[in-house]
Amino acid sequence: MVLDTGTTAWILTSTCLVMLMTPGVGLFYGGLVRRKNVINMIALAFLAYAIVSMQWVICGYSLAFGTDISGFIGGTEYLGLTGVGMDGEGIPDILFAAFQLVFAGLTLAILTSGVAERMKLASFVVFGLIWTTLVYDVLAHWAWGGGWAAQLGALDFAGGTVVHISSGFGALAIALVIGKRAGFKEINMAPHNIPMTLLGAGLLWFGWFGFNAGSALAADGIASSALMVTNTAAAAGALSWLLASSIHGKPSAVGMVSGAIAGLVAITPAAGFVDVWASLIIGIVAGLLCYRCLLWRLTKGLDESLDAWAIHGMGGLWGAIATGIFCSPLITGGNYSGLIYGNVNQFLINAGDAIVVVIYAFVVTYAIAKVINMVMGLRVCEDEEYLGLDIAAHGERV
């Protein structure tokens, strides 16, 4: 198959869209922290993206998409993007590498939720490089690079396991290592700029169309269907969380967009496999489930501060399982079918894969965080945390 300009146009566009999600996450998170940490929070997203951009061209792409080694990781033939050229099937190989890059950058940015308002910049750089290499690249290989999960037939359309479970459970793990913010649950840590969070959510919703519909790697019916179910799940998640939060208290605007993101996360692994009705259910459940998880982590006193675990981790887990449930032969041209079409196998494979990824992501992240904590410390000192990282880490202020 030769290059197709239409497909190439769409993947170029999708790459741009997904890239924008990183500042989107920065703004989403930036609005949720206290004013004294907003610059740092947005800067972490940029920093995550920048270091992963380097890592990816140097080794990440090769580790994820190089020739499979024991089902676990890719080979080294693409180090420095050697041999990743301007030709390819449908799209240029180098475009595929770029499209994958923006996912990797975003994933690390999502994970910053777990260390919000308290992490040392230098430690974040070290952590980010190691984490991307040992967790992200490995998981990307498993799902998309010909690793064991792909071989088994586990389905992950756009990154439910690779992006969301990894960053969500990773955030939880590092949050446990770094510890709670000073004064957590005693002092008011309410979001300082909700319009900023809403703007971030708008950019995320926008970019997610590139994320999911772009993962079709074609400008075709699957991409279009993926876009439609993505939007439906997002809207359903927004409304179900809004409703749930309004029964608990007031219908929160942050809740509404959190629900949208929960829906977007959950539809991610399923986007190219399910029909619009399934997406409706996936979205509604995601909104309710992630909201419950958020409440649960609060009652447990866990300071996974901006809820990457509740939304991305648990939403991704639900999405991975839901893919095994709702995967439709009508959408996939008969190639795949899920539990409701009588295929227990797909359900078990997807659920099994998801659980392995949960464990891998959590354990390895925990280990990396522990080691870095011992070697150089993850956390800023008490005074710096008190002053806020804008001034303490960057010497800047809003």
Task: Identify whether the C-beta of residue 114 lies closer than 8 Å to the C-beta of residue 174.
Answer: yes
Residue 188: name its binding partner from a second copy, another protein, none (Cβ under 5 to 8 Å by kind): another protein
Which of these, 189, 166, 206, lies nearest to 309 by C-alpha position? 166
384 binds, among a second copy, another protein, none (CB under 5 to 8 A by kind): another protein
Q: Which is nearer to a second copy, 234 or 302 (CB)?
A: 234
Q: Kindly identify the residues of this chain, within the stretch 284-303, that bind a second copy according to CB under 8 A.
A: none
Neighbour-count burial for 292-319, b at 16+ CB within 10 Å, e otherwise = ebbeebeeeebbbbbbbbbbbbbbbbbb
> How many Å apart are CA 110 and CA 128, to the nearest integer?
12
Residue indicated by tokens 């419950």: 292
Both tokens of 240, joined, read: 């179900």
Binding of a second copy by 250 (CB under 8 A): yes
Is residue 381 a contact point for a second copy (CB under 8 A)? Answer: no
Residue 69 or 387: which CB sits closer to another protein?
387
Please, what sign has the CA dihedral across residues 288, 105, 192, 197? negative
State the DSSP code for 181: P
Three-state SS for 213?
helix
| Residue 125 one-letter amino acid | V
Tokens 């010909």 belong to which residue? 146
Residue 119, beta-bridge partner list = 379
Binder of residue 335, out of a second copy, another protein, none (CB less than 5 to 8 A by kind): none
| Spatial CB neighbours of 299, under 8 Å, sequence gap ≥ 6 | none
CB of 134 to a second copy, least distance (A): 20
15 binds, among a second copy, another protein, none (CB under 5 to 8 A by kind): a second copy
Q: Which is nearer to another protein, 254 or 260 (CB)?
A: 254
- 199 touching a second copy, by CB under 8 A: yes
Among a second copy, another protein, none, the one that 183 touches (CB under a kind-dependent 5 to 8 A) is: another protein
Kindly tell me which of 16 and 391 has the beta carbon lying closer to another protein: 391
CB of residue 179 to another protein, shortest distance in Å? 18
Q: Please, which residue, 1 or 247, has the CB nearer to another protein?
A: 247
Q: Please tell me whether residue 217 binds a second copy under the rule CB under 8 A.
A: no
**Residue bearing tokens 């409701």:** 340
| Residue 223 interacts with a second copy (CB under 8 A): yes or no | yes
Q: Which of 67, 151, 224, 335 binds a second copy (CB under 8 A)?
A: 224
Q: Quick one: 35 or 370, whose CB is closer to another protein?
A: 35
236 interacts with a second copy by CB under 8 A? yes
Give the binding site for another protein (CB under 8 A): 36, 183, 186-188, 247, 250, 383-384, 386-387, 391-392, 395
Q: Are 52 and 128 in contact (CB under 8 A)?
A: yes
Helix 253-267 with 194-214: angle, nearest 10 deg: 10
80 is a site residue for a second copy (CB under 8 A): yes
Our CB check for another protein shows the closer of 89 and 396 to be 396
Find all residues with CB under 8 Å of 256, minimum gap 6, and list them. Answer: 238, 239, 241, 242, 245
Closest contact distance (angstroms) between CB of 391 and another protein is 6
Phi/psi for 147 (5° steps) reads: -75, -170
Interacting residues with a second copy between 321 and 340 (CB under 8 A): 331
CB of 290 to another protein, least distance (A): 23
Give the gyration radius of the chain's Cα atoms. 20
- Rounded least distance, CB 221 to a second copy, Å: 3
Q: Which of 332, 322, 347 is nearest to 153 (CA)?
A: 347
Q: Is residue 51 a contact residue for a second copy (CB under 8 A)? A: yes
Partner interacting with residue 187 (select from another protein, a second copy, none; CB below 5-8 Å by kind): another protein
- Which CB atom, from 91 or from 143, has the smaller least distance to a second copy? 91
The span from the CA of 27 to the CA of 109, in Å, is 11
**Does 129 participate in binding a second copy (rule CB under 8 A)?**
no
